Structure 1
Amino acid sequence: MKLILSRKGFDSANGGCPSPIIDGHLCSLPIPDAGAPTSYKKISPFNGAPIAKIVEDLTCGQVRRGHRAHLDPDLRRDAIARAAGWRPMFGQAGAAQSHLARHDVGPGDLFIFFGYFRRAEKVGGAFRFVRNAPRLHVIFGWLQVGCVATVTRDLAAEMPWAATHPHLAPRAIEYENNTLYFASDRLSSIGLKTSGAGTFDRIRPELILTHTDSSRSVWELPRWFTPGRRPPLTYHGDPTRWTDCGSSTLLQTVGIGQEFVLDAEQYPEAREWLRSIFRAAARWCDVPQTSSSTEP
């Protein structure tokens, strides 16, 4: 199994601000995409608050409710109206997909999605970020790969239930290396019966990657992540990025790159670490169960 730490959602370059943590709930905002099929106003409310309003308020109107949203990874059945047969999926293209292909990412491998988050609140009917709230990299979702498909016009025609995915939009079909990763039914790679894809509802310490009192790009990870003689987390081979702190290690992450791949066969400790994250989340909320159809 390969573990892929995948950076997604709003940030300073895409959307212009963090995704919010509202009353302890993680609300990952999909980035703007003028060519995507779905607008922010069509995305279902987040804990009773329209996503469109959250986006407008937190971006001070720079991103508006009628703007199109790149809903990817697409992990929640209730995010938008669905056709029969829908299943969770994630699309990648260009250099990032070349990186995944070079590391043979495929069935059984596990994407762990993280993003840039900050605590927000509603004051006087408007959402705003909490003053001095820390800026964090937080894990918000997952997808175990069931199967992989190269995007073509024929594939799009064969899967009308996936027509709302931005990588199947007419202008996106010709993206270089355009590829879709479809979720497996269950999270079998780490021995859990949880659905093969979903989102974490509430923030938990185990979901926070950022080291306390550091910039968001400095992560605190279990010590076993330190490469030593094993192949490093991709893009992080420079030993000066790693600082041994005894029981943990600090990693100064790179500022570019979307997909960081770790070979769990070389790091068998990864499976128990991942199981511990799901166990911690499940103690405080129900890990979403996402029904799936037969893999395409």
Structure 2
Amino acid sequence: MKVILSRKGFDSKAGGIPSPILPDGTLLSLPIPAKCDELRYKDVYFDGVSFADILCQLKPKDNKIINWNCHLDPDIRLNSRKIKPANWSAGFGQISQAQGYLRNQQVGVGDLFLFFGWFRQTEGDFKDGTLRYVREAPNQHILYGYLQIGEMVSDSEKLQREYYWHPHSLERRAKENNNMLYLPTDTLTFNKNREGFGTFDFAEKYVLTKPGKSKATWKEIAALFPENICKNVRNSAKDGGIYYAGQWQELVLKENELSEEWVKSLF
């Protein structure tokens, strides 16, 4: 089983604010803005409240982004839409250079995506409009979800016919040769008590960021050091930790006991 770290959600350029750690520990990843997509922030929901409303609370001075379309991908949270599409399935799409990297690493059925992003603790109540970031709360990279690959779909007609609700089924993506939709297994192959996709609630074991460091400087997790990465990467961290420069999307870990034991410890 290969393990793939996949960076998703708001960042400093796309969205501009951290995704919220809700007071109950929910890691609510905010999908990035995407003008060419069809889904809008007002169409995406969490616990009865639209993401547009949540964004209004976290970014009150920005009255434009709430009307934008968004790229809900990975789509791994149940009931994220007010009206659930018929035959909905969790899924994650990748395209272009990032998909080329996954293809070259022979990522396939049985391999596991771990999704992480930029998060910060919040307080207040998103249901009554008082959600806000906790002052002085750190910015952190945190693992927030997963998907173990059960099926891979790249056929343009099948994507548009059977997975019309996913952004990688839109014609402009579906017609690309290097476009792939990853669908989950029913349950994890190494833990039959867990579905093949899902989200995590906040726990220290999911925090990648090294305490006292900037969000992109990670803890010294053995499985995440350069020698265990299937890519030519350099640890640029100073004074301890792990730091990989650049705006990369995916990192494939080497297929070995070190990687598998680390992943199993997360579930």
TM over 0.5: yes
Map of 2:93 onto structure 1: 91
Q: Is the contact made by 1:71 and 1:166 (CA closer than 8 Å) also made in structure 2?
A: yes
Cα pair distance change 1:82/1:219, threshold 3 Å: same
Map Cα deviations across residues 115-163 of structure 1 (whole Å, 9 max, x no partner). Answer: 00011233893433222110000000000001112141x123430xx21
Q: For the residues of structure 2 that align with 1:55 and 1:242, how far apart are their CA atoms?
A: 33
Map of 1:8 onto structure 2: 8
Which residue of 215, 221, 229 maps to 1:233?
229
Map of 2:250 onto structure 1: 259
Structure 1 runs not aligned, ≥5 long: 279-296
Map Cα deviations across residues 22-53 of structure 1 (whole Å, 9 max, x no partner). Answer: 2022110111111212111111234x543211
Instruction: Report SS of the residue matched to 1:277.
Output: coil
Which residue of 116, 133, 137 maps to 2:137?
133
CA drift at 1:256: 1.6
Map of 1:269 onto structure 2: 258
Could you tell me which amino acid in structure 2 is paired with residue 132 of structure 1? Answer: E
- Please say if 1:158 is aligned against 2:161: yes
Could you tell me which amino acid in structure 2 is paired with residue 253 of structure 1? Answer: Y
Q: Is the contact made by 1:183 and 1:197 (CA closer than 8 Å) also made in structure 2?
A: yes
* Deviating more after overlay: 60-69 vs 98-107: 60-69
Q: For the residues of structure 1 that align with 2:94 and 2:41, how far apart are their CA atoms?
A: 21
Q: For the residues of structure 2 that align with 1:89 and 1:134, how far apart are their CA atoms?
A: 30
Instruction: Report SS of the residue matched to 1:269.
Output: helix
Map of 2:195 onto structure 1: 195
Q: Is the contact made by 2:223 and 2:253 (CA closer than 8 Å) also made in structure 1?
A: no
Map Cα deviations across residues 202-260 of structure 1 (whole Å, 9 max, x no partner). Answer: 210001000000011111143354455xxx3144533x547897xxxx21122321000
Q: Is the contact made by 2:43 and 2:50 (CA closer than 8 Å) also made in structure 1?
A: no
Could you tell me which amino acid in structure 2 is paired with residue 55 of structure 1? Answer: L
Map of 1:55 onto structure 2: 55
Structure 2 runs not aligned, ≥5 long: none
Cα pair distance change 1:42/1:136, threshold 3 Å: same
* Deviating more after overlay: 55-64 vs 191-200: 55-64
* Deviating more after overlay: 170-179 vs 206-215: 170-179
CA drift at 1:58: 2.2
Q: For the residues of structure 2 that align with 1:16 and 1:205, how far apart are their CA atoms?
A: 24
- Please say if 1:108 is aligned against 2:110: yes
CA drift at 1:193: 2.9
TM-score under structure 1 length normalisation: 0.81
Q: For the residues of structure 2 that align with 1:61 and 1:242, how far apart are their CA atoms?
A: 34
Map of 1:288 onto structure 2: none
TM-score under structure 2 length normalisation: 0.89
Q: Is the contact made by 2:88 and 2:165 (CA closer than 8 Å) also made in structure 1?
A: no
Instruction: Report SS of the residue matched to 1:69.
Output: coil
Q: For the residues of structure 2 that align with 1:126 and 1:168, how far apart are their CA atoms?
A: 36
Map of 2:21 onto structure 1: 21
CA drift at 1:176: 5.3
Cα pair distance change 1:176/1:58, threshold 3 Å: farther
Q: For the residues of structure 1 that align with 2:218 and 2:31, how far apart are their CA atoms?
A: 23
Map Cα deviations across residues 155-185 of structure 1 (whole Å, 9 max, x no partner). Answer: 23430xx212111123332345111111111
Cα pair distance change 1:67/1:263, threshold 3 Å: same
Cα pair distance change 1:236/1:62, threshold 3 Å: farther
Map Cα deviations across residues 81-138 of structure 1 (whole Å, 9 max, x no partner). Answer: 2233221110000110111001011100000000000112338934332221100000
Could you tell me which amino acid in structure 2 is paired with residue 269 of structure 1? Answer: L
